[in-house]
């Protein structure tokens, strides 16, 4: 028996994935009061993976920010530090587009991975200068005072391919290792964020029925069974749908 997801109206086609649009589903249940965040939720990880897989932005550089031996246990402090660092890259790295995500080291310290579309310069000395600026800025923002942290508190590297950063973010989102909030850490807030330009843009909006979609998915290794609804998001099947700039029927 089918669930009450509603009648299929069509699909929205993105770079890699396809989102199924429905109407007339069953009413939502009473909302559950939101408690303190204890881990990176499955739905939030899905959204991160979707953004990373479908953005048109080509990430070229990855920056990792870590804390010294003494680190904050308040997410509001961490987010203030992050905002200050984002101000730095907007100002000093020519307003790059970015995608960041948070995780925790074994010792309980938060650390942040950041993908940006800004390319590292060519040449050893030029790369060294950028890495020093990144390290010195983060050292100043967190008020470290630890010379070892100045040397090893950040990592700035060139991504091997324009798609490499997106693949890394998708892989990160699907694993729970280092995603649980350590005991005593509070106000964790968001686990990831991005600049507006990173948000995926539809390639096509198509009117179709559920049977139309099933026809397109025939032979797909994750093809839904006949007694199951078509999934809300169909991953990696955009090439099975025509890419158009206007709304049309399949």
Copy the structure tokens of residue 41.
């939720």
What domains can be seen in the chain, in order of their start residue?
7-22+201-249 (no CATH), 57-198 (3.30.70.1910)
- Contact assessment for residue 126 and residue 202, using Cβ atoms and an 8 Å cutoff: no
Based on C-alpha coordinates, what's the Rg of the chain?
21
State the average pLDDT for the chain: 86
For residues 176-182, give the mean pLDDT.
73
Give pLDDT, residue 27: 47
Assessment of whether the complete model's pTM goes beyond 0.95: no
- Contact assessment for residue 162 and residue 172, using Cβ atoms and an 8 Å cutoff: no
Copy the structure tokens of residue 165.
């950063």
Distance (Å, whole) CA 131 – CA 37 = 33
Q: Within 13 Å, how many C-alpha atoms sit on residue 73's CB side?
A: 8
Q: What is the pLDDT of residues 113-164, one digit of tens each?
A: 999 999 999 999 999 999 999 999 999 999 988 889 999 999 999 988 877 8
pLDDT band at 178 (very low <50, low <70, confident <90, very high): low
Give pLDDT, residue 1: 39
Maximum average pLDDT range among 31-40, 157-166, 190-199, 239-248: 190-199
Give pLDDT, residue 248: 57
Packed helices 42-54 and 164-173: angle between N→C axes, nearest 10 degrees:
170
Copy the structure tokens of residue 107.
């010792």
Q: How many residues does the chain have?
A: 250
User: Is the pLDDT reported for residue 33 higher than 90?
Assistant: no
């Amino acid at each position: 028996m089918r669930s009450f997801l509603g009648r299929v109206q069509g699909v929205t086609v993105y770079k890699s994935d396809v989102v199924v649009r429905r109407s007339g589903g069953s009413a939502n249940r009473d909302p559950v009061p939101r408690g303190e965040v204890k881990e990176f939720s499955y739905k939030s990880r899905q959204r991160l993976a979707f953004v990373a897989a479908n953005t048109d932005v080509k990430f070229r550089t990855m920056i990792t920010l870590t804390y010294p031996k003494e680190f904050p246990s308040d997410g509001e402090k961490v987010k203030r530090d992050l905002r200050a660092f984002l101000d730095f890259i907007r100002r000093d790295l020519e307003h790059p587009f970015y995608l960041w995500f948070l995780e925790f080291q074994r010792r309980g310290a938060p650390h942040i991975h950041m993908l940006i579309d800004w390319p590292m310069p060519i040449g050893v000395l030029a790369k060294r200068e950028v890495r020093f600026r990144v390290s010195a800025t983060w050292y100043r923002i967190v008020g470290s005072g630890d010379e070892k942290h100045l040397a090893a508190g950040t990592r700035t590297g060139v991504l091997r391919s324009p798609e490499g950063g997106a693949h890394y973010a998708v892989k990160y989102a699907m694993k729970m290792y280092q995603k649980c909030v350590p005991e005593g850490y509070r106000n964790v807030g968001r686990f990831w964020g991005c600049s507006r330009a990173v948000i995926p843009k539809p390639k096509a909006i198509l009117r179709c029925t559920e049977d139309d979609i099933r026809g397109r998915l025939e032979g797909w290794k994750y093809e839904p069974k006949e007694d199951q609804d078509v999934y809300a998001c169909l991953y990696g099947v955009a090439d099975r749908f025509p890419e158009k700039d206007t709304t049309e029927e399949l």
